[in-house]
């Protein structure tokens, strides 16, 4: 009987390059099945007693990729216990993808009960094997009909995981969603992921109304929401009220393009005491985000592109990671001493680097990893003011023409990150991205020394410059003795420095030379004259995007600046990596002759 089952599985379940084997004795190895969706290096089943009970041990190879039998960290895991052979086969069947499991069920009624009671349901075009090239009406019809058939068969049984992706559909009858959720959201459900289509416009009495699915919060009351651990909603409306039951098991809450107000979110959070991770993306109705102190377990907070958000106030005492993207308003994290990782991406504002230097210590005094992305830096104190040099300290007058993404700096002095005495005593990794069509030529890259000097434990510094044209004054033609020097401060722990988008801007070369001359612990310096990964590290046959002619010219200038001003300052024990445009994809000609550059 066992041999026939093993042979049946081998012959009927989908073929792929990976294999699972079962071993009933030390010498008896039989292939079970091959599956493209997961991979176990070997599966051993030992006979334990005369009742034909078996001990199953599944070992998963680390290099096999993420597997349903692996834990979230991707490490090896072992499943052991006394199981019958059918328990083993049903367990394997439950771990297969929805499509593979359905094919196995169609091949034999032996798995019918296991299919009907399948605890994890993931519905999408891919898992149901639907044609992605069909019209949206056909996709909607087929997807709805298949999901409805499966869900009706699960009525009264319940599920642990329900993942419905309807993004590719049009004009969905929300009554279907209500029916599916009534079947699934029962005591015992652990994960609910709902991705709906973009809101559509319907007409009632000739008036346009945006049609958005209203998630039935009542389903989470009366104990039905007690078991839910992960809730992910996209493109829907969520209106929790004071009558919402306690979601005592909820650890992860993700909402994307979800209509919910700040007060409603407060109500939801106040009923989720076990919450560990909160993600809010494009939630346009939130003006003020307040996180109650009762969220003692909250570790991760991400708030991205909630355009109307003006205030972020967190009283969660154990927050360790905060990601923010969008328009920066008032941020208060309660001076969280546990916050170790902070990322701020603000491409709709200027002076974010300046803001970070001045304010982040009060927000995250013990930060260890800091990432800052800024569109432009156009207004701050001057470097020469700080050090009392000859340059006058008038503030700049800036006019920004957004339609051309240009900065008019007729009256502009050198603009830079302010020099302050406050210290980031625990900062180990600093990443700064300066992004723009043409970054203000008044910005002084050397002023970034303020961050480096303020970080005595800094080990890794990454500066990424992305611009279509370089507007700074080039160092080429400048005598080397005209390079500015600032009061020395030794950096005893800085080991790695990477600058991408390296150009011939004088202040950038000065920053590089300052780091080389004042860092005793440096192991590696990488200067990348391109802004994007080359074809060697991407899936494209060519570098993408390709550099234009002006960028190639500037890359050649940057290489010459490195040879002339940087190379001679690199200590022998420091590894210097110089990356230039890919010669295979870019026919780099002598667009600018060496004589002209000189």
* 87 Cβ neighbours under 8 A, 6+ residues apart: none
- Write the DSSP symbol of residue 562: I
More confident residue, 53 or 86: 86
Residue reference for tokens 């009762």: 294
At residue 141, what are phi and psi to the nearest 5 degrees? -60, -50
Q: Is 80 exceeded by the pLDDT of residue 540?
A: no
Is residue 551 a contact partner of residue 503, using CB atoms and an 8 Å limit?
A: no
Alpha-carbon distances, residue 483 vs 287, 446, 477 (angstroms): 48, 11, 12
Q: Where are the domains of the chain?
A: 2-108, 370-598
Q: How far apart are CA 341 and CA 364, in angstroms?
A: 9
What pLDDT is recorded for position 475?
A: 86
Predicted local confidence at residue 566, as pLDDT: 94
pLDDT at 225 (0 to 100): 85
The number of beta carbons lying within 10 Å of the beta carbon of residue 126 is: 13
In the block, which residue shows the tokens 């009632």?
204
Of 260, 230, 262, 223, the C-alpha closest to 244 is 223
Question: Residues 328-361: pLDDT tens digits?
Answer: 889 999 867 899 999 999 877 778 888 888 888 8
CB under 8 Å to 100, separation ≥6 — which residues? Answer: 13, 14, 35, 37
pLDDT value of position 25: 36
Element (H, E) at 42: strand 42-47
**pLDDT at res. 18:** 36
For residue 136 the two structure tokens come to 């949206």
CB 327 within 8 A of CB 306: no
What spatial distance separates the first Cα and last Cα of the chain, rounded to whole Å?
84
* List of E strands, 212-327: 213-214, 230-234, 236-237, 252-256, 277-281, 288-291, 300-304, 311-314, 321-325
316, pLDDT greater than 90: yes
Cis peptide before 132 (omega within 30 of 0): no
Q: What is the pLDDT of residue 85?
A: 54
pLDDT of residue 416: 57
Best CA proximity match to 364, nearest among 385, 388, 395, 343: 343
Which of residues 220 and 192 earns the better pLDDT score?
192
* Residue scoring higher pLDDT (89 or 207): 89
The mean predicted confidence, pLDDT, of the chain is: 75
The residues, ordered by sequence, that sit 6+ positions from 485 with a Cβ below 8 Å of its Cβ are: 514
Q: Write the CB contacts of 182 (distance below 8 Å, at least 6 apart in sequence).
A: 219
Of the ranges 140-144, 156-160, 206-210, 435-439, the best mean pLDDT one: 140-144
Closest CA to 39 of 114, 96, 111, 85: 96
Strand partners, 325: 304, 345
* Nearest in space to 374 (alpha carbons), one of 282, 455, 457, 447: 447
pLDDT attached to residue 371: 96
For β-strands 236-237 and 496-500, DSSP reports them as unpaired
């Amino acid at each position: 009987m066992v041999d026939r089952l093993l042979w049946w599985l081998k012959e009927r379940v989908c073929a792929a390059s990976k294999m699972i084997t079962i071993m009933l004795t030390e010498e008896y190895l039989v292939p079970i099945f091959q599956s493209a969706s997961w991979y176990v290096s070997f599966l051993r089943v030992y006979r334990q007693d005369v009742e034909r009970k078996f001990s199953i041990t599944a070992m998963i190879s680390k290099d096999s990729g993420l597997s349903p039998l692996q834990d979230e960290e991707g490490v090896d895991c072992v499943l052991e216990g006394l199981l019958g052979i059918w328990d083993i086969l049903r367990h394997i069947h439950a771990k297969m993808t929805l499509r593979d499991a359905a094919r196995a069920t169609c091949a034999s009624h032996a798995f019918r009960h296991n299919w009907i009671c399948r605890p994890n349901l993931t519905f999408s075009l891919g898992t149901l094997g639907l044609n992605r090239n069909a019209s949206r009406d056909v996709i909607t019809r087929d997807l709805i009909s298949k999901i409805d058939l499966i869900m009706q068969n699960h009525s009264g049984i319940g599920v642990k995981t329900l993942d419905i992706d309807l993004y590719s559909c049009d004009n969905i009858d929300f009554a279907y969603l209500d029916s599916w959720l009534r079947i699934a959201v029962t005591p015992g459900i652990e994960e609910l992921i709902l991705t709906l289509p973009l809101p559509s416009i319907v007409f009632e009495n000739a008036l346009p109304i945006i049609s958005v699915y209203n998630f039935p919060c009542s389903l989470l009351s009366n104990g039905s929401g007690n078991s839910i651990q992960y809730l992910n909603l996209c493109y829907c409306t969520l209106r929790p009220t004071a009558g919402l039951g306690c979601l005592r098991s909820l650890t992860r809450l993700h909402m994307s393009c979800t209509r919910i107000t700040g007060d409603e979110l407060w109500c939801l959070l106040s009923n989720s005491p076990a919450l560990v991770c909160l993600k809010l993306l494009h939630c346009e109705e939130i003006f003020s985000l307040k996180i109650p102190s009762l969220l003692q377990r909250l570790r991760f907070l991400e708030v991205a592109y909630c355009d109307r958000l003006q205030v972020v106030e967190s009283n969660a005492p154990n927050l360790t990671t905060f990601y923010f993207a969008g328009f920066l308003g008032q941020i208060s994290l309660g001076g969280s001493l546990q916050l170790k990782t902070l990322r701020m991406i603000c491409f709709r504002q200027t002076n974010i680097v300046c803001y970070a230097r001045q304010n982040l210590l009060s927000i995250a005094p013990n930060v260890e990893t800091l990432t800052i992305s800024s569109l432009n830096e156009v207004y701050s104190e001057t470097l020469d003011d700080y050090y009392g040099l000859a340059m006058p300290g008038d503030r700049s007058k800036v006019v920004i023409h957004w339609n051309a993404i240009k900065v008019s700096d007729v009256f502009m002095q050198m603009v830079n990150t302010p020099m302050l005495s406050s210290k980031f005593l625990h900062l180990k990794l600093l990443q700064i991205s300066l992004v723009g069509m043409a970054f203000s030529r008044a910005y002084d890259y050397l002023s970034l020394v303020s961050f480096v000097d303020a970080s005595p434990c800094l080990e890794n510094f990454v500066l990424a410059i992305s611009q279509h044209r370089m507007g700074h004054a080039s160092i080429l033609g400048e005598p080397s003795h005209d390079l500015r020097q600032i009061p020395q401060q030794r950096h005893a722990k800085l080991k790695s420095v990477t600058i991408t988008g390296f150009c011939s801007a004088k202040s950038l070369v000065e920053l590089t030379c300052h780091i080389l001359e004042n860092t005793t612990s440096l192991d590696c310096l990488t200067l990348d004259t391109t802004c994007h990964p080359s074809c060697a590290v991407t899936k494209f046959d060519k570098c993408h995007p390709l550099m234009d002619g002006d960028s190639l010219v500037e890359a050649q200038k940057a290489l010459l600046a490195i040879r002339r001003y940087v190379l001679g300052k690199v200590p022998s024990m420091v590894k210097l990596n110089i990356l230039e445009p890919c010669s295979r994809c870019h026919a780099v000609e002598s667009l600018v002759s060496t004589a002209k550059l000189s």
